[in-house]
Amino acid sequence: MPKSAGLENVMVSERPNTSFRPAEEILPGKVYRLGGHIELDGRITWAPKIAGRYTPHNNYVVLEEGRAYLIDTGVAAHQDLVARQLKELIDPGIPITIFLTRSEYSCSGNLAALCELCWIEELVTSSRNPFAGSGEIIAAVTDRVRRTEPDRGAVVPLGASKSLTIIPALLRLINTYWVYDAESKTLFTSDMFGHISVTDPSAPSIVDSIEEDCTTYEQVRDHTLMRYHWLPIATTNPLIDWLEHFFATYRVEIIAPTSGCVLKGEAMVKKHVGLIKELLHRVSRESD
């Protein structure tokens, strides 16, 4: 594919015995997964320790006519990989809009590096200070990058997109937004639905076979409570009602979390929404 403008100057370190992994195609010509994998060895706080397993850590590209949308930027540890994946995916001269689903380094870790390339046209974020006072990252958002702040708490289009919608998430730890793509029926869920890991980091990060999916309620509970530790003491009925209304309003065929495997197919979506609803029904009783 053609090289993207501005990415030629990115220093990419070639590590011995490490092969480059291109962006994963979720929907041809439309939605792609970027990023690498993180071992579940107990050193990350958003997932349980599981020997021999790895969680995909994701950011996503959505292609529209004349523009690309980058949903989150990934962790800094994957900076070289994300830059190379973008280099192979995005054609030269295509303007890019970045959206951050939440204000944490796991989502914004590569923002500074990408903005320094001078090829990011717009940053969309709902927070006036989305970087927890990080001078390094704030300094990277210079006058070259247009900053757009959507109405807080409102369901609004993502930038100039006719297909992408920003949706405030009721189920969250901090201020968090989901993004829905009406064209591909993809829901980008930030830190929710990230409970599927893999045994081999070279394996696909997309799960699309309901017959082969062995995810259990216990796995969903253990993973979700690592981050949503407040659920056992919460009144969860409003959250259940919100989820039911959401998935009745939006037709979702793909769930794409920041961390964890992508869930593809209506059957997969239905199963895993059901598992999250089961957790919300049971979690307070199980903690008694």
- 87-108 exposure pattern, b = at least 16 Cβ within 10 A, e = fewer: bebbeeebbbbbbbbbbbbbbb
Look at the pTM and tell me if it is higher than 0.85.
Answer: yes
25-50 tens-digit pLDDT: 999 999 999 999 999 999 998 999 99
Residue range 249-286, pLDDT digits in tens: 999 999 999 999 999 999 999 999 999 999 999 998 88
Q: What is the dihedral of CA 56, 160, 144, 136, to 10 degrees?
A: -40
Please, what are the domains in the chain?
7-286 (3.60.15.10)
Query: 170, 239 in Cβ contact below 8 A?
Result: yes
HSE, side-chain direction, 13 A CA sphere, residue 202: 4
Checking DSSP bridges between strand 67-71 and strand 59-64, what pairing results, if any? antiparallel
Q: Name the nearest CA neighbour of 87 among 25, 5, 15, 166.
A: 5
